[in-house]
Amino acid sequence: MSGTDWPLWEVFVRSRRGLSHTHAGSLHAPDAEMALRNARDLYTRRSEGVSVWVVPSHEITASSPDEKDPFFGPAADKPYRHPTFYEVPEGVRNL
């Protein structure tokens, strides 16, 4: 038995209520339930989280580094798309 026989899982941890899950890393596990438990041991042992998601890595479709320019380049010169021209209403946190 070796870890390379097991599928890879991506781990997302929500650090507290109100925040979204953030990618924390990845791990090997034989199935989803064990992946959750491994994630708990690897990524939340210092009480970093209140909720954990695990996703099979092969289910993730990622943008290719080769397509970086057509994908992200056009947004570079459009500063008016940034919300910096608006005032943030009082009482809004986590924006």
Partner 1 sequence: MTGSEGLSARSAAALSDPLLPLADDSLVLSHRLGEWAGHAPVLEEELALANIALDLLGQARALYAELGEEDELAFLREERAFRNCQLAEQPGGDFAHTMVRQLYFSAWQELLYAQLAELGQPLAAKAVKESEYHRDHAEHWTLRLGDGTEESHARAQRAADSLWRFTGELFEPIAGPGPVGEVDWDALRTGWTERITRTFERATLTVPESPQEGAWKAGAGRQGIHTEPFGRMLAEMQHLHRSHPGASW
Minimum distance from CB of 28 to partner 1 (Å)? 6
List residues binding partner 1 (CB under 8 A). Answer: 1-3, 6, 27-31, 33-34, 37-38, 41-42, 45
Which residue, 14 or 44, has its beta carbon nearer to partner 1? 44
Which residue, 30 or 73, has its beta carbon nearer to partner 1? 30
Minimum distance from CB of 47 to partner 1 (Å)? 13
Minimum distance from CB of 30 to partner 1 (Å)? 7
Which residue, 24 or 95, has its beta carbon nearer to partner 1? 24
Which residue, 15 or 26, has its beta carbon nearer to partner 1? 26
Pairing of strands 22-28, 51-56: unpaired
SS (H, E, C) the chain: CCHHHCCEEEEEEECCCCCCCEEEEEEECCCHHHHHHHHHHHHCCCCCCCEEEEEEHHHCCCCCHHHHHHHHHHHCCCHHHCHHHCCCCCCCCCC
Distance, first Cα to last Cα, the chain: 46
